[in-house]
Amino acid sequence: MDGVIALYKKRGMTSHECVSALRKILHTKKVGHTGTLDPNVDGVLPICIGQATKISELMMQSGKVYRGAITLGRAYDTEDLDGQLIAHTPIETPLTSTEIDALLSKLTGDIMQVPPMYSAVKVNGHKLYEYARKGMTIERAARPIHIDYFKQIKPAQYDQIEQTQTIFFEVACSKGTYVRTLAVDFGKLIEIPSVMSDLTRIKSGGFDITQCVTLEEVQAAADNDELNTVFRPLKQALQAYPSYSLDESRWQIVSHGGFLDQSINPNHAPIVRLEYVGAVKALYQFDSDVSQYRPYKMFIA
Q: Which amino acid is at 265?
A: N
Burial of residue 124, with CB atoms counted within 10 A of its CB: 0-12 exposed, 13-18 middle, 19 or more buried:
exposed
Give the whole-angstrom CA distance, residue 38 versus residue 36.
Answer: 7
How many CA atoms within 13 Å lie on the side-chain side of 199? Answer: 27
Give the whole-angstrom CA distance, residue 297 versus residue 301.
Answer: 12
* Catalytic-role residue among 2, 38, 42, 185: 38
- Answer positive or negative: Cα dihedral of 82, 85, 173, 112: negative
Of 64, 58, 13, nearest to 32 by C-alpha is 58
Q: How many CB atoms lie within 10 A of CB 18?
A: 22
Give the whole-angstrom CA distance, residue 29 versus residue 46.
Answer: 16
Give the whole-angstrom CA distance, residue 192 versus residue 219.
Answer: 46
Q: 185, 92 in Cβ contact below 8 A?
A: no
Q: Is 185 a catalytic residue?
A: no
Q: 35, 60 in Cβ contact below 8 A?
A: yes
Which positions are catalytic?
A: 38
